[in-house]
Every structure is written in structure tokens, then in C-alpha cells.
Amino acid sequence: MSSMLNDDETLGAFLDRYRSMELLRFLTCGSVDDGKSTLIGRLLHDTDRVYDDHRKALEEDSKIHGTQGGKIDLALLVDGLKAEREQGITIDVAWRYFSTARRSFIIADCPGHEQYTRNMATGASHCQLAITLIDARHGMTRQTRRHAFIAALLGLPQMVAAVNKMDLVDWDEARFRALERDFLAWCARLGTPEPTVVPISALHGDCIVHPSAHAPWYHGPTILQLLESVPVMTPSIDAPLRLPVQHVIRPSLDFRGFAGQIESGSVAVGDRVQVLPSGRQTRIARIARDGTDGGDLQSAAAPSSVLVTLTDEVDCSRGDVIACVGGAQQPVVCTSIEADLVWMDETPLMAGASFLMRIGTRTVAATVVRIRHVVDVDTLAQHARDSLEWNEIGRVDIVTQQPIVVEPYRQMRSLGALILIDRVTHATAAAGMVRSGDPHEPNPRRAHWATRPAPTIEPPAGQSAIESVERAVRWRQRPAAILLFGPPKSGKTRRAFALERHLWQQGHAAVVLDGQALRGGLSRDLTFSDEDRSENLRRAAEVARLLLDQGIVAILSMVAPQPAARDLARDLIGADRFLAVDCSEAGADDAALFRDVESFIQSDRTPGAG
């Protein structure tokens, strides 16, 4: 490798140069075999940043694990784990560091094959630019579209597509232009800033560091030229102050300091600030610093880690946010937010599930009360669904137990980014981006079983000229409600319709009330919170009661997770007309269900029985 120091450069000159060097954090992504590792290896190699002993180890490794017939395999420079070198794949996000004479770089190398969404989202949360690799032979794939989608979702301001393996399509310009058009069109649909598309061969080093003689038709920048010239995003000191409190430092009764990293804006001694969520206003007394370290500061700006004291004895602790007063952009204090989630847990998200949520420095108990939709990342279509599977992206409503301080992610990353932590396994289940916070209480409590007000209008009972015994004779049954309950995928809906078919064939009259179907209309306004699940069951039970009055058997297929709500349904319908069957219990077969139901609807009060 070449030395970091230019030939005649003194240390002093280097230090000056180094101090003016900017740091760019970027990520690389692509599918398996798109040549991502080779691209990074090529960047390190062609900028002469590979230590001699590493190069020697690489030459040895290339003979054993290389894919270049014993020749040096640059991909091995970055495939760090033994399993990766043996399998020739990249398992996890890897972090690389290199610098040129102009800039320092941190690369998040995001593998594409396994858990790509999770890896990509992780890398993107730390970076400002993404390089997506596209294989010139295959063109844009689902993976390419997904990578661009996630980059857009995480708000990356800069996108680059590197069309790799141009040597394998004979540096065909038409091929490249077609790909470029496809990618630009997709990014336009996503609403990302216009990306740059570069034709490269990572294997041969074309257009990575040096321009390529193979592409006289390409006049744009090489990858390195791009990396060295895109503007580095630095926090604006004019942005509104946001200082999430990490830690209260109290060495003695005379000193109470609030430690945290300024996430946005700047702060000066004497500034009027507010402590959120309480909203109490006070002023900055000191920006305290050790005398041996230069002493107190008069002002500080993002992203400094600071220690401030306040002029008043206001209540302020970890999780609170010190923010400027006034201004157009204000955080919202609320217990209800709408957010986009990237689901990272193998266990799917079901509406109603509870988590620990971290936002800023605050940790609160939170419930995903509703899944609004899941995004099909290939078509951008939004599908209504009540679960979010591993690596899927969807929009949800979250309710927190304590007030939180939020801002839309697009406006203020630090108060708009969140993670959900599984309460039992402690896995990081999701990354979330706040779209909006609702400053008002979540939906007012809906009419409910226990609190249901007495009806003011008496139902027109007993007006029908048909007597119930006539109905029982015609339908050859005693009307009843059969509640098949259990978690999603426990088979309750299938069994409900199997039961309907069976009763039909026996000459009975039955109607299926499916919880999911009800949500398409009658219960369209409901979420998946505990309260709303209970309400959905109540509505189904009310409909069932009307059907039972007509002599019909009602088959209810509902999640109905709360025993208390099931008891209320039983009370509403009448215990002698209500049969609950737990579909999550193993071993129960359809035949047994049919038998139980038939005997239940053919009691001795049923004319024609026995």
C-alpha cells in the first residue's frame, strides 16, 4: 500500500489536511453475486489502502476460497467471517473504514440474500448515501426495487446505482441506458432525489477509481469521484434544538447536570428552553466542561455530546427532551402515533401485540393497535392485513402507556425514529419511522359491553307473526350461536365453513359471521386493540342474537382472545343458546365438532327430535 502521508508532507501539514477532511458514511447493497464485496475490495485496493500483511493473507486466502481461479479475489478482503469465506456469502452488515486524500469513509456493507430488509434498514439508518449494485445481465430485480424502496423509506438523501459486470455484456451502451431509465423511473415513483447511475466492472476495476476505456460513451463520474464529491450532510446549527436527556449527573447537592447528545440545532448559555413532555420552561445556565478540557462552553451544536445545567429546579430526567421554545416546528407530546414499521422478527406482528418501545432516550410500553396496510414493495400496492411478517414493511397505529415526545421522521430523525423490543425475547422486533403523532387522546372509549348505556329505544320484540316454535319445526333446529375462537391461523374460519356445509347437508339453516369479514364493513372503524377486538365480538354477538330470533344457527369465527369478552357474549346471547369452541386446542377434529353442534341444536325442546 502507499503511505497516508504524501511524500514531502510534514506531520503538521497532514494534521491540518486531516482536520479539514470530511467523513462520509455510505452503504452498499445488492443481491448475492452482484459483486458487492468485489466492489468494496476494489475501492480499497485501487485507492492503495490495503496493508501489505493483509494483501499477503489475501493472496493465501484467494488460493483456498477464491473464485478467481487462484488469482487474487478482492471480495475476500471484506468477507470477514469464516462461515462467509467458506460459503462465499456475506451474512451480516460489515463495517469498513478507509480514507483517501480528500475524505474519510465508513462503509456499511449490507448483504442482500438473507434478511436483506433488516440489514439494509440497519445500514441505511447510519448512512446518507446508498450504492445499489445491479447485474448488467439481469437488469433490475425485485431486490433492486426493494433496496431503493428501503433507502427512500429511511430517508437517504443520495442514491447511486452501479451497473456491474458491464464486461459481460460487452460494454453495451444501449443495455446500460435501458437499465438507467428503469432505475430512474423507479426512483421517481418512490420520490427519491434523482440518483446517479454508473456503469462499472468491479472485477476489472472499470469506473471504480479510474475511468474506463471500455465506456467512451460514459461521461459521468466514477464511483470514487462521486464519493469524494457528493455534499456531506452536516446537521444545521439553525435547526431547532433537540437535546434528548440520557443521564442526570449529580455528583453533589450543588450540581445537577443533564447529559446528552445534541441531535439537532444548537444551544447557548442563557437560551430559553422547554423540558418535554412536561413543557416547563427554563434557561440554560451552563454548558459545563472540565477545566483541564478547556472549561465551560458558551455554545454548542449538533452532534456534540454535552452536559447542561438549567437555571430553575425543573423536573428533568432520562427520556425527557430539552427543546427550544417557539418556532414553526414543534415536537408533539402524545400517546398515539402513526408509523411505518420494518418488521424484523421471525414471529409475525399481530395487531394488539405489546412491546417496549424506544424513541429518543425514552423507553415506554407500547401496543400496536392497528395494522393499516402492508406495502407490496414490488408494486408499491398497499394491502389491508392484520399481520406483518418477517422482513415486511407496513403502516401501523401505536399507543403508548406514557406520553412520548415525537416529530415526523422526515422532519426530525432523532424524535421520529423508534425501535420495538419484544418483551419476552428482548429481540429488536422492528424499526419504526413516525409519520405523525396524535396530540389528542386515542379514539374515545367506544360503547362497550360493560359500560354499554341502556337502550333508549325498546326493540320491537314480539311483533313477528311467526312463532319461534314454527321456525324450529321448519329448520329442524333449536337456534344457537356457535363461537369458534382462537388465534389467527388456528383453523377457525375453515372449520366454520366446514360446519356450515355439514349443517346445510343435514337440512339446517346456518349463517357464518366471520370476524375478518365483519371488519370489511360493520366493524370497519375498529382497530386490533384489546378494546376493539372485544367490541368486534360484541357486534357479532348482537347480529347473532338477531339471527337466533329468526330461528337461524349463527356460526361465529372470531379471534376473541379475552375470556371476559367471551363471557359477555355468552351473557348477551344466553348461556343455553351459546356454545364456545376453542380452535387452538390440539386434537379436536371436525367430526367431533359436528357431533357436538348437532346435539346442541337438537335439544329435547326441539320439535321433531327423538
Partner 1 sequence: MHDRRWTHLDDLEAEAIHILREAAACFERPVLMYSIGKDSTVLLHLALKAFWPAKPPFPLLHIDTTWKFREMISFRDETVRKHGLDLRVHTNAEGLRQGISPITHGSRVHTDVMKTQALRQALEAGRYDAAIGGARRDEERSRAKERIFSFRDRNHRWDPRRQRPELWNIPNTRVHDGESMRVFPLSNWTELDVWLYILQHRLPVVPLYLAKLRPVVERDGLLIMRDDDRLDLRAGERVQERVVRFRTLGCYPLSGAVESSADTLEKVLEEMLRARTSERQGRVIDHDQSGSMEEKKREGYF
- In the range 557-596, which residues lie near partner 1 by CB under 8 A? none
Min CB(434)–partner 1 separation in Å: 12
Cβ burial, residue 2 (10 Å; 0-12/13-18/19+):
exposed
Nearest to 482 by CA among 568, 565, 582: 582
Min CB(388)–partner 1 separation in Å: 16
Interface residue with partner 1 among 13, 178, 381, 427 (CB under 8 A) is: 427
- The set of residues, in sequence order, having a beta carbon less than 8 Å from that of 500 and lying 6+ positions away, is 510, 511, 512, 555
Report 385-414 residues binding partner 1 (CB under 8 A).
413-414
Say how many residues touch partner 1, by CB under 8 A.
81
Interface residue with partner 1 among 259, 375, 509, 580 (CB under 8 A) is: 259
Interface residue with partner 1 among 32, 237, 333, 350 (CB under 8 A) is: 237
Q: Which stretch binds partner 1 (CB under 8 A): 164-172, 292-300, 370-378, 438-446?
A: 292-300
Binding mask 325-364 for partner 1 (x = CB under 8 A): -------------------x-----------x-xx-x---
Applying CB under 8 A, does 83 fall inside the site for partner 1?
yes
- DSSP for 361-389 reads TEEEEEEEEEEEEEE-TTT--EE--SEE-
Interface residue with partner 1 among 38, 125, 132, 158 (CB under 8 A) is: 125
Beta strand 510-514 with 553-558: parallel, antiparallel or unpaired?
Answer: parallel
Applying CB under 8 A, does 155 fall inside the site for partner 1?
no
Please identify which residue in the block is written with the cell numbers 330470533: 549
Nearest to 118 by CA among 379, 427, 475: 427
Applying CB under 8 A, does 181 fall inside the site for partner 1?
no
CA–CA dist 286, 588 (Å, integer): 70
Q: Residue 351 carries which DSSP code? A: T
Q: How many CB atoms lie within 10 A of CB 270?
A: 11
Applying CB under 8 A, does 269 fall inside the site for partner 1?
no
CA–CA dist 71, 309 (Å, integer): 61
Applying CB under 8 A, does 431 fall inside the site for partner 1?
yes
Applying CB under 8 A, does 81 fall inside the site for partner 1?
yes
Interface residue with partner 1 among 69, 174, 219, 293 (CB under 8 A) is: 293
Cell of 343: 418488521
Applying CB under 8 A, does 8 fall inside the site for partner 1?
no
CA–CA dist 134, 141 (Å, integer): 8
Q: Which stretch binds partner 1 (CB under 8 A): 273-281, 423-431, 464-472, 581-589?
A: 423-431
Applying CB under 8 A, does 421 fall inside the site for partner 1?
yes
Q: How many CB atoms lie within 10 A of CB 409?
A: 22
Q: Which stretch binds partner 1 (CB under 8 A): 143-151, 302-310, 325-333, 588-596?
A: 302-310
Applying CB under 8 A, does 304 fall inside the site for partner 1?
yes
Q: How many CB atoms lie within 10 A of CB 15?
A: 10
Applying CB under 8 A, does 168 fall inside the site for partner 1?
no
Applying CB under 8 A, does 53 fall inside the site for partner 1?
yes
Q: Which is nearer to partner 1, 178 or 268 (CB)?
A: 268
CA–CA dist 77, 40 (Å, integer): 8
Interface residue with partner 1 among 28, 31, 122, 527 (CB under 8 A) is: 122
